Structure 1
Amino acid sequence: MFVWFNDPLNWTNPDGILVRLREHLEISFLAVLFGCLIAWPLGIWLGRRGAASGVVVLLSNLTQAVPVIALLTILSLSPLGIGKPAVVVALAVFALPPLLANAHTGMREIDPEVRDAARGMGLRESEMLWRVELPLAVPYLATGLRIATTQVVATAALATLVNGGGLGNIISAGFGLGPGRGDAQILAGAVLVAGLALLIDGLMALVERKITPKVLRQAAGRT
């Protein structure tokens, strides 16, 4: 494996690490972005209504019940076809449960007295959302984003099954070399995927801490 990593061609050729890493990050970013655009508005809206916990659980269970491989197969036979679009949609669906659940919980955990105080100060509903509720829900939104991003990055290796690119291509190419001949490449690809997922999780943990208001971090520490 170390010999394989030490070969410059394995980094710079058209099927090398740098190209596959860029594809992997691009697929993961688009999937999480689309997941956020769907899950956050829906979770926030349901959470503000305060009586839709069953709907959130149902939606989360439905999206988790479908295996990513099965969803990739179905989408590849749809008009999306084989390639990155099907992978992005499948991974976006995979990212929905943590994003949706944490957005909903973040809204539900806000003290009703805080909302009453905001209304007493004359804030409209839109102002209360942006100036009071969302800042208080930031820790939950950040946690959901961290979980979803890490899961998507780790699962994006399956994109190789439908010619979607990414680091999974390194692993599949290793299997294509035959028993014993591609072991180093297979192991290298697995290490790259796992290492990238761990790195992304660590970076997201730092982002989560930075964007959480200091007052909320102190309150969580006291708890």
Structure 2
Amino acid sequence: MNAIEQAVRWLNDPLNWTNPGGILDRLGEHLSMSAAAVLLGCLVAWPIGLWLGHTGRGGGAVLLVSNVSLAIPTLALLTILPLTFLGFGRPSVVAALAVFAVPPLLANAYTGVRQADPEARDAARGMGLSGGQLLRRVELPLAVPYLAAGFRTAAVQVVATAALASFVNGGGLGQIIRAGFGLDIAAGGGQIIAGGVLVAGLAVLVELLLALVERVVTPRPLRRARRGADRRAADAVAGGG
């Protein structure tokens, strides 16, 4: 029996789903720590990104933070944080994953506010709205599609990266892959493939669901405007090539 057949058989075994430490338990762990990490990232990145976008300052800082965060090796951060007061386990994993959720959340929040219609800003100021009211009533609603896009990107990245949590006793679907590596390759190859399929499938499912949410929260005029901008950007790239 080859590894693919082993993976199919492993996934079709009900006990691998329902036993303690099985797929359902690991899936719950994976989703809970991913959700906590993305939520933590939102709490940190969105207020900063929205405020910087509102003031029109800090664009270079946003770019720097995004690039630095993306340059940090995932496994290195997951290894370093458990050595701090957070210790090994879920808290350090959530904190590490939140670091990787921040760049798309921060960049899209900043961009969403900066892309707000200048005429809408001027009209709001003409009506006597303060800076905070302008942000809450005008810029924030117009930035919602960008916030949704950043949330979607961050969530997919975190779900895929959370598979590494098993290396620091964080649990999740990566634990299935790690357990497979602990076996002889002839016996554990199928389990390794099955774990990889589960992680990839979950990431794709999250991508599809959040893409639908992003479409729903984006008003039709903005959809057409963004499609036009994407098309012009693609044409510019093609022309430059």
TM-score with structure 2 setting the length: 0.89
Could you give the per-residue CA deviations for residues 105-132 of structure 1, whole angstroms, max 9, x where no partner exists? Answer: 1111123222111111222323222221
1:157 CA drift (Å): 0.2
Residue 109 of structure 2: aligned partner: 103
Deviates more, 1:90-99 or 1:207-216: 207-216
Q: How many residues align?
A: 223
Residue 215 of structure 1: aligned partner: 221
Give the Cα separation in 1 of the matches to 2:145 and 2:61: 22
Residue 20 of structure 2: aligned partner: 14
SS of the aligned residue for 1:144 comes to: helix
Structure 1 residues 176-215: aligned runs within 5 Å: 176-215=182-221
Amino acid at match of 2:204: L
1:171 pairs with 174, 177, 197, which one?
Answer: 177
Residue 37 of structure 1: aligned partner: 43
The ranges of structure 1 where at least 4 consecutive aligned residues each deviate by more than 4 angstroms after the TM superposition are none
Deviates more, 1:136-145 or 1:115-124: 115-124
1:143 pairs with 132, 138, 149, which one?
Answer: 149
1:216 CA drift (Å): 1.8
SS of the aligned residue for 1:181 comes to: helix
1:93 pairs with 96, 99, 120, which one?
Answer: 99
Give the Cα separation in 2 of the matches to 1:81 and 1:128: 43
SS of the aligned residue for 2:187 comes to: coil
Structure 1 residues 18-167: aligned runs within 5 Å: 18-167=24-173
Structure 2: where are the runs of 5+ without partners?
1-6, 230-241
Give the Cα separation in 1 of the matches to 2:92 and 2:109: 26
SS of the aligned residue for 1:180 comes to: helix
TM-score with structure 1 setting the length: 0.96
1:219 CA drift (Å): 3.4
Give the Cα separation in 1 of the matches to 2:179 and 2:27: 15
Amino acid at match of 1:201: E
Structure 1: where are the runs of 5+ without partners?
none
Is contact 2:159–2:202 with CA below 8 Å preserved after alignment? yes
Deviates more, 1:208-217 or 1:186-195: 208-217
Amino acid at match of 1:72: L
1:222 CA drift (Å): 5.4
Deviates more, 1:114-123 or 1:28-37: 114-123
Give the Cα separation in 2 of the matches to 1:41 and 1:218: 28
- Identity value in percent: 65
Residue 237 of structure 2: aligned partner: none
Give the Cα separation in 2 of the matches to 1:117 and 1:11: 57
Could you give the per-residue CA deviations for residues 139-195 of structure 1, whole angstroms, max 9, x where no partner exists? Answer: 211111110000000000000000000000000001111221101100000000000
